[in-house]
Amino acid sequence: MSGFDLSFLSRRRALIAGAGALSTLIVRPARATTETMQAAIHAFSHGAPIRQGRLKLDIPPLVENGNSVPLVITVDSPMTEKDFVKAVAVFNERNPQPNIATFHLGPRSGRAFISTRIRLGDSQTIMAIAQLSDGTLWSGSAELIVTLPACVEN
């Protein structure tokens, strides 16, 4: 009986250890890529605080083809000589590289508006950060599901 108990315990232990190993296996890659995105964001912000708001990402929540995803970015800014958006950088967490694009605007832009098409390798969160003329940073993000990711066909 004691032998059976022991084997049961060890099996349970093995199961727990296995589950632990599995969860780290699942969690680690996602965390790593999010870290590369954080590193890319840090390179853009130079560690300055980023506040949420003012920036809006217009992107379909469900995408069939990841090779060409329409993206529209608007920032709530008067775009005057004294108060305007200097730059907008867009980041992703699941593509091979975290950067998507950086757009440089100025008071001549009239409106803080950019429209483009991007490529996404997986369902993920897209984040954009606007750098204003007063030095403050504002972020917006959008989560989306990609059914046919880019970079899979040859």
Q: Give contact residues for another protein (rule: CB under 8 A).
A: 67-69, 92, 95-97, 99-106, 108-111, 113-120, 151, 154
Whose tokens are 């349970």? That residue is: 12
Cα 108 to the chain's mean position, in Å? 29
Contact 41, 87 (CB under 8 A): no
- Our CA angle for 102, 107, 109, nearest 5°, is 60
CB of 21 to another protein, least distance (A): 29
Q: Which is closer to another protein, CB of 50 or CB of 87?
A: 87
Q: Which is closer to another protein, CB of 28 or CB of 104?
A: 104
Q: Which is closer to another protein, CB of 13 or CB of 104?
A: 104
Q: Which is closer to another protein, CB of 137 or CB of 150?
A: 150
CB of 99 to another protein, least distance (A): 4
Structure tokens at 142: 């959008």
Rounded distance, CA 116 to CA 96, Å?
20
CB of 11 to another protein, least distance (A): 42
CB of 123 to another protein, least distance (A): 15
Whose tokens are 């680690």? That residue is: 28
